[in-house]
Structure 1
Amino acid sequence: MQKSIAVVFDSAGTLLHMYRVAKDMSSGDLLTGVESTDLVARRKGRALIVLHTEPSVILAVDRNMRVIDFIDGHDIAIDISCASVPFSVEEAYDIIKDSDIRVDDILQVVGVVRKHCPEIFYVAAGIIVDRNDHSVPYVLSTGGRLFHDSKETVDRLKGLGVSVFIASGDSRRNLKQLAECMGISMERVYDIATTREKARIILELKDTYDKVLMVGDGMNDILALRAADVGIVTLQQGDHRPEKLEMSADVVIRDIREVLGIVESL
């Protein structure tokens, strides 16, 4: 009898090749090719905040406006994408409220991402907050485009009868575009999924499927990798991955197509 199999993909760095830029708010330096989850993990007490808005909305306001005034004035929802410790949205809001970050800070990093990636799939903006000194150490922007073999891999998995899911710290707005492109129902998409929520999703799916595979590339996937029947770390993004992350996986791959062989072996 054929086993029922589910494969859960992270989005950024797994289905999408990402380009990330951060602004160091203490020095004003723009840092390219950064890993947002690594910036969070560098110091206990940090969290990555997602702004639920289109870059076009940010572009339409005064560049000198404080970000908190932009959030309040345009009724922008914020969420925690990942955190090094349990963190509340209310605490993050208070830190942003007491900071002096400006819309211009966000537009600087968004502009670099847009310039570097003309064929970009989407652009998102975020803020890293730090409870240790009640500060905003970084603002950042990320842009992503599909790896050339992502859609083919998902299509072939579905052809094998595999149920495909996405669990990501990204916003529902961005994931909706990705899911539609990949032919994945939004009922199988989990947005703003933190490290612990990804693990919970895997455990819930294990109650339904014989085998559940998790495919990810970041430290925010580490608990889900451990919870899965098969945890797969992909290095297709090409940047350095922490040894701790690779050690938490059952398999390390360099191309998303390798997931097909792993599924077939089950």
Structure 2
Amino acid sequence: MQKSIAAVFDSAGTLLHMYRVAKDINSGKTITGVESTALVAQRKGRALIVLHTEPAVILSVDRNMRVIDFIEDHGVAIDISCASIPFSLDEAYDIIKDSNIKIGDILQVVDAVKVHCPKIFYVAAGIIVDRNDHTVPYVLSTGGRMFHDTKGTIDQLKARGVDVYIASGDSRRNLKQLAGCIDIPMERVYDIATTREKARIVLDLKEKYDRVLMVGDGMNDILALRAADIGVVTLQQGDERPEKLERSADVVIRDIREVLDIVDSL
């Protein structure tokens, strides 16, 4: 009898090739090719905050406006995408409120992403907060486009009877666009999923399926990789991955198409 299989994918760096730029608020320098979760993990007590707004809305306001004023005036919701330790949304909001970061800081990194990644799939903006000194050390922007073989791989997985899910720290707005392109129903898409929530999602799916695969590329996937029947780390993004991450996986791949071989082996 054929076994039922579910495959859970992270989005950034897994389904999408990402370009990321951060701005060090203290020095004013921009940093290219950064890993968002790595900046959070640099210091205990940090969290990555996602702004739920369209880039066009940010572009429409005065560059000198404080970010907290923009959030309040436009009713922008915020969420915690990942954190190095448990972090409350109220605490993150207070840190942003007491900071002097401007819309211009965010636009600087958004503009840099657009320049370096012209065939962009979407652009997102985020803020890293640090509870140790109650500051915003970085603002950042990410842009992504699908890997060449993403859609074909997902189509072939579905043709094999595999149920495909997405569990990502990204916003629902961005994931809705991605899910539409690869025909994943939104009820199988989990947005703003933290490290622990990804693991919980995998464990819940293990109650329904004979085998559950988790495919990811970042430290925020590590608990889900361990929880899955088969944890797969992909290196297709091209960034250097921590040894701890690779050790947490059952399989390390360099191309998303290799997921098909793993499924066929089951």
- CA-CA distance at 1:117 after TM superposition: 1.0
Are 1:163 and 2:196 counterparts?
no
Are 1:154 and 2:154 counterparts?
yes
- CA-CA distance at 1:27 after TM superposition: 0.3
Aligned to 1:125: 125
Structure 1: runs of 5+ lacking an equivalent: none
Aligned to 1:173: 173
Aligned to 2:73: 73
Which amino acid counterpart does residue 231 of structure 2 have in structure 1?
G
The equivalences for 1:29-48 within 5 A come to 29-48=29-48
Q: Residue 215 of structure 2 aligns to a residue in which SS?
A: strand
Q: Residue 221 of structure 2 aligns to a residue in which SS?
A: helix
Q: Residue 3 of structure 1 aligns to a residue in which SS?
A: coil
Aligned to 2:108: 108
Are 1:194 and 2:188 counterparts?
no
* TM-score (normalizing by structure 2): 1.00
Which amino acid counterpart does residue 217 of structure 1 have in structure 2?
D
The equivalences for 1:202-221 within 5 A come to 202-221=202-221
CA distance in 1, matches of 2:254, 2:236: 5
Aligned to 1:54: 54
- CA-CA distance at 1:118 after TM superposition: 1.1
Q: Residue 175 of structure 1 aligns to a residue in which SS?
A: helix
Aligned to 1:247: 247
Q: Deviations over 1:127-157 (max 9, x none)?
A: 0000000000000000000000000000000
CA distance in 2, matches of 1:235, 1:6: 21
Aligned to 1:183: 183
CA distance in 2, matches of 1:253, 1:80: 29
- Equivalenced residue count is 266
- CA-CA distance at 1:160 after TM superposition: 0.1
Q: Residue 19 of structure 2 aligns to a residue in which SS?
A: strand
Aligned to 2:260: 260
Aligned to 1:27: 27
CA distance in 2, matches of 1:171, 1:55: 13
Aligned to 2:135: 135
Q: Deviations over 1:194-220 (max 9, x none)?
A: 000000000000000000000000000
Q: Residue 245 of structure 1 aligns to a residue in which SS?
A: helix
- Runs ≥4 in structure 1, deviation > 6 angstroms? none
Aligned to 2:238: 238
Q: Residue 143 of structure 1 aligns to a residue in which SS?
A: strand
CA distance in 2, matches of 1:34, 1:241: 12
Aligned residues: percent identity?
Answer: 81
Which amino acid counterpart does residue 21 of structure 1 have in structure 2?
V
* TM-score (normalizing by structure 1): 1.00
CA distance in 2, matches of 1:89, 1:107: 23
Aligned to 1:93: 93
CA distance in 1, matches of 2:39, 2:7: 28
- CA-CA distance at 1:225 after TM superposition: 0.1
Aligned to 1:16: 16
Which amino acid counterpart does residue 192 of structure 2 have in structure 1?
I
- CA-CA distance at 1:188 after TM superposition: 0.2
Q: Deviations over 1:202-255 (max 9, x none)?
A: 000000000000000000000000000000000000011000000000000000
Structure 2: runs of 5+ lacking an equivalent: none
